[in-house]
Every structure is written in C-alpha cells, then in structure tokens.
Chains A and B, each alone.
Chain A
Amino acid sequence: MPRLAHFRAKREASMLRLDTTPILHVDMDAFFVSVELLERPELRGQPVVVGGQPNRRGVVSAASYEARRYGIHSAMPLRTAGKLCPHAIFLDGRHDLYAEWSDRMATILSRFSPVVEMASIDEAYLDLSGTGRLHGPPLAAAHALLTEIGAQTGLPCSAGLARTRLVAKVGSDQAKPRGLVWVPAGAEAKFLEPLSVRRIPGIGRVTEAALRAMGIETVGQLAGIPEERLQEFFGRWGTALYRKAHGEDSYEFIVDAEPKSISHSHTFGSDTSHRPALESMLSCLCQKGAQRLRDACLDACTVTLRIRYAGFRTVTRSKTLSEPTHLDPVLLATLRRLFERHWEQRPVRLIGIEFGRLSHGVNQMGLFDPEWREKLERLARATDQLRDRFGFAKVQFGGSLGCAKDH
C-alpha cells in the first residue's frame, strides 16, 4: 500500500502550481461492479447493481455501465433502482474484497511513482515527476500503467494526465470508460471551457444552482467571471471556484483531505496461527502505518488492532496512548500488548492495525523526553529518507524481516 497523504504533506500548493510535471489521476471504472464481475464473468454485459437487494433499505454503491443506461447511479435508493430496471442483477457489497483489490491496485501504482495518494478506495493521484528515466515520459508511463493494471487485475480503469490534480481528475472522468485523457500544459482552459460546471469536483447541486442564477452553466463562462465578483457571491469558496475554473488546485482541495485515521491490514494467503508469522506481520503493518504518520506530519493517540479469524469473526481492540507519537517502537509495543492479550490462539485470516485520533505536534520537542526518544527520531528520519529512495522493504526493523515486500 503506498503512502496516503504523502502528497499533501510534502508538496505545497504553490509547488503544484509551478511544477509543469503532469499529475496522473487514476480512477477505476464502476469499481465494485468490476470486482464482482471478475468472479462472475457470466454477468458481463448485463445491468449489475452493487449495494443490496431492491426490496431492502439502502443505496446503490456502484452500477455497471449497462445499468447506468437505465438512469441508475450511485447513492440512489435501491428501491428506486429496482423500479428503473427490474431485471438488473442486484448484489450485496463485499467491502473487504474491494479493499483487497484496492490494495493490489495501489501496489501496482506505487511501482510507477513513489508519490501516490489514494484519494479513496478506487482512485488515486500520482506525481510522475522524476520518473522519466524509469518509465519514460508521463504519457508513456500512464499508458504503461493502465495496461499493467488491466493485465494484472483485469479491472477496467481510466486516467487523466495533466498539470494539476483538478484537471487530471476532470480528465479521467471524461476518459471513462477505459480511456486516458491527456491535457497538455497550456491547454487546460480549452479543455475545460465546454464542460458543465458540475464536472468540476467540489461543485454540487447547490453551487450549480447558484451559478445558474448568475447565468453560468459552463466552465468557460465561469472562468470569465472576475475573481472579485465570485468572492462577493461566495466568500472564500469564491476564490476556490475561481481557481478551479482556471484548472488550478485550490488550497481547500488539499487541506481538506487530511486523514482521520491511518490503517493497514493483511489477509493471509491461507489462515495461520503461527505466532512468529503473525507478530512479524504486525511489525510490518505498524512500520508502514508509522511511516505514513510521519509523512503526513501527524501523531497518533489511539492504536487499534484488528484480527479476523477463519470464519470471519472479527475482533477489534484499541488502546489510548499517554501521549501522541509517530515512533515505530512505541506504537509496536502497544500493538504487541493488544495482540498478546486478545489473540485467541486460533487461525487468523486477516490482521490489521489502525492509528487514530491524529494530531499535529510532531515537531515539538519535550523537556522530559528520555535520550532514547531523540535517537529514535533520528532513526525514523533516516529510515524514511532511505525508504523514499529505495522502497519500504530496504530498511526495516528485524521483527518484520521476510514479511515486508516492496510495496
């Protein structure tokens, strides 16, 4: 799993603006449906809806392109979808399965760039700058990446390649299904101009209605409105709108994306009750989580251990730390104690960790910090630097040796 939040912590908005290196937005097409179709290929070409049965409460999580032709879309009540297309195939969601495939996709993405931000379970941003010698120019890399995902997973996906995250995202949306849209630097305005304002991420029904009242329907029209005027109408949101209309990332877009928790899990190929294997995996997951904490300049205050046994019973146990930290040994010691106390000595299917109650505070040094803390800080910084260059598995604590693969 690549490192969430890496992007926002290490790249400032101003750098994104000046950097002409393209940003790639990868978005899986009808992700949940596509995953289901892998297991049930006989449903291909039929209207498929994931989320639950149409006679029950709930909303559509994903709909195949065939189902979308009947007007079905995500977040629509299942009953409504059932009325629109009674002969559609309705499937219950299996989120663990989707998460597993999402991890696989993330693994492939991280081969193409060290800077990957998983924006959600089925989409990610990559910064391809500096990867030229490995993967060729960004467009070639993007093509190779899409081919690779197709070959490795059989899942369809689309991508947008552009100077900014916003244009890349709009691009991947336009590219669907199974497409790649490249918006060269300088061509953003022309690309965005004819699109409806709703295509811009962050513009929903409310803003759309407000804009329509001003006689604005396309991004081109929006881009023609002076910033001051938008500010007058929308306040700070107006500034963001202005930037979005010009294809720039708005600050709000980046700042809002702060993670609330960081989690990692591993599903064993076959269930295991081998203690060393479990402890080793725990160490590996902890190190990955700790590194993501540091990348995002965050400290965690709660540590959670998740164990799923064969037969799917899942146990979740948390512990609150006396003070927030991002240091591997402190976090791991807590996880080990949780594991020691709560593992039922039975075969485990999945083991996972989560760091929660995140706060910024990494940089404040303490008066009564023992000497070992500063040493661990230096160790962590050195480790992170090495991993940035050579990959996660190249430097690790002994406890996870043989466990951490390079992903």
Chain B
Amino acid sequence: MEFTVKKYDLLAELNLTQGVVERKTTIPILSHLLCEAKGNRVTLTATDLELSIRTSCEAKIKKEGAGTIPAKKLLELVRLLPEAEIRFRLLENHWVQITSDRRNYKMVGMAKDNFPAIPAFPHPLVKIPAGILSSLIARTAFAISMEESRYTLNGAQLTLKPDMIAMVATDGHRLALAETDHSFAGLSNETRPLVPKKAMTEIQRLAGEAGENGQIEFARDDSHLFFQVESRLLISRILTGQFPNYEAVLPRDNNKKIVLERNEFNDAVRRVSQLADQRSHALKFSVGQEGVELSASSPEYGEATENIDQEYGGEPITIGFNGQYLLDFLAAAPDGPISVELKDEQSAGQFRPLADDQYRYRYIIMPMRI
C-alpha cells in the first residue's frame, strides 16, 4: 500500500471516524482504522462492533493495498501537520510510514486481516432527507435511558411508513415523540427498527455533513441499519428487544391546558431548579387562575418560588415534575408557545410546542409524588 493524500481531504474523513472508534476497548484492533487504497480513493473504516463507519477520499495511489493505523494518534498527527500532501506507505511488520515534506513518522499497525468484517450495503430501501432525520433525533435522543439494565430503552424507535417518519425515545419516566409527513417513494411496508443512542449521534454528524438538502440512503437487513451519504456509510447494529407499547401511555384526555412561552418557561425552570433537591430535581408545578407557580426546595440550599402570569380558566392543579426532564425538553423545543396539558397529579403531563407543527412534537413526563 502506498498513496498520497491532501491533508484536509484526509482530516475531514478522520474526524468522522472518531465518534465510532472505541477509546477504552479491550480489543486492540478496534482502536485502529482500516486503511484501504484502491483505484483513486483511499477508504477508512472504523468499528466498535456495534457501530461502524466507512468513508473515503481522493488519493493518488501508487500501490494498492491495505493496513491498519492507530486511530487517535493518526488524527492527532494529521491535525498538526501543515497543509500539504501526506504520503502513506506500508512497511514490514504492519508498520506504516507517514511522510510530509521532510517529516517522517512510523506508526505501529496491526495485521489487516484481524480487522472485523463490515457488512456490505444491501439494496437501498428509501431516501430520507438529512434535515428531517436530524430534526427527529434532536427532538428525541435526550430521552433515551442511560441505564444499561433497561436495554431496549437504550435506543430510539424509528418508524418509517410510506407517508410518514417518526422517532420515539423513552427512559421509562418520560417520552419524546416527533413525527412528520413525508412521502417515501418505493417504500411499501412499515419498518420500526430500534436505533442505539451512539448511532444517533453519528447519524446527526453525518446528516450535518450532508447539508440542508442532503439525502440519506437508508437500508436494513436482519440485524443492521445502513445510512449512506455519498461515499460515507454508517452501519449500526439494530437493538434487539421489544420497545414498550408507548402508544398505550400517550395521554388522551389531558384537559387542563395552559400555554407558556418557551423562553420564559425555560428561564423560570432553570432558576427554580437551582434550589431543587440535588438528587431528585423535584419541582412543584401549580396551575391556578393567576397562571403557573413553580417552586422547589432543597434541605441543603434553600427554596425558590416563581410565578408566570397566564390566563387559565380550568380547575387548579398541583403536580410534581423532575426539573431536569423539563429542561431537556425546553432545550430541544423551538421558540414560541408551548402547550402544557395535564390531567391530575398522578397522570402523565404532555408538552407540545405549538410552533412546531411540522414535527407534531410531543413530550410526555410522568409526575413525581410530592
């Protein structure tokens, strides 16, 4: 293997691989990139066995072939090199020589045959606009459970139908759901894979690179999801298990409704949360004729009360919510009015940004007992 490549061409692709490469892995080869030179392109592959990325850039190939290079070290080095051509050459014992002008480096590689095989892209199913997928992820990813024990909640459910796309995520206490109409040419059946959280971050990165009007080619087989943007391909294992039957818990008769401005609401929750219990983040949310009263107290730090004036003609209600759950949502919601819809102090509350009707965005939080 021998080739030369422009620094910025290479750096852009290296940056994309970094989210996939494992930092703390017990399998040494997973901290390496597979580097393959063929035709007029060099292809880089990174994997953590759950998530893989394959990307390529133009290069002048002198001798075709492949090798592996420590991913983090390569990125650091390439970042520091001046803008010029970089030459790569595979030496004996899997070492790789890297040359830039009169600068000379040799990195310890590993046998390329040990690099895990990456599944090939099957027949594409459908094209998804990058902007839509990215928006769905931004509105839901934060609600994914971090608890490893609740394995099927460690990802979001992506629903694709011929005329709509939706994403829903939950950690068992709150649930974020966003959906939008889009006609997917060529899609006949419904598909509902579970996308792992780490993959969602990388999809967003990929979507960002694709630009506003970019398209992501989507495909799946029995155990993998494939997202391709031009020469970049992200492959994620599908989370196994049964996603909870979330439709059954979507509130239907939350008839106590009040509308708040996102910014005002967000600022008040942030301030009041300062004095909420540090562990439970419990906030008291009282709705009455005057509007909303938010309050919190912490045995260590003190207490806080704020009022947001707003007309409300319904029955008064006092309900407890985890302040952090509210803030997560308010950070993802667009500016404008937010409809808060409650039923009673033991039933889930629903929050909907009214300005976001393109995505029919709903966020549902179970209350805290107060």
Contact = CB atoms under 8 A, between A and B. Distances in A.
B174 interface: yes
B224 to A, nearest CB: 27
Contacts of A251: 299-300
Contacts of A359: 279
B5 interface: no
Interface in B341-370: 346, 348, 364, 366-370
A144 to B, nearest CB: 33
Given A255-B299, A367-B170, A367-B174, A360 B280 contact: yes
Contacts of A320: 149
B322 interface: yes
Contacts of B277: 360
B368 A364 contact: yes
Contacts of B368: 363-365
Nearest to B149: A322
Contacts of A13: 299
Interface residues of A, number: 19
Interface string A362-388: 111111100000100100000000000
B249 A364 contact: no
B305 to A, nearest CB: 17
A368 B172 CA distance: 6
Contact of A323 (B150, B175, B346): B150
Contact of A367 (B282, B320, B366): B366
B205 interface: no
A368 B348 CA distance: 11
Contacts of A374: 346
A367 B175 contact: yes
Contacts of B244: 367-368
Contacts of B150: 322-323
A380 B170 CA distance: 27
A7 to B, nearest CB: 13
B147 interface: yes
Contact of A363 (B172, B280, B364): B280
Contacts of A362: 369
Contacts of B106: none
A361 interface: yes
Interface in A61-108: none
Contacts of B299: 12-13, 251, 255
Contacts of B73: none
11 contacts: A12-B299, A251-B299, A251-B300, A323-B149, A323-B172, A363-B320, A365-B173, A365-B368, A366-B173, A367-B249, A368-B249
Interface of A: 12-13, 251, 255, 320, 322-323, 359-368, 374, 377
What 8 pairs across the A-B complex have the smallest Cβ distances? A360-B279, A365-B366, A363-B368, A363-B369, A322-B149, A367-B249, A368-B244, A364-B368
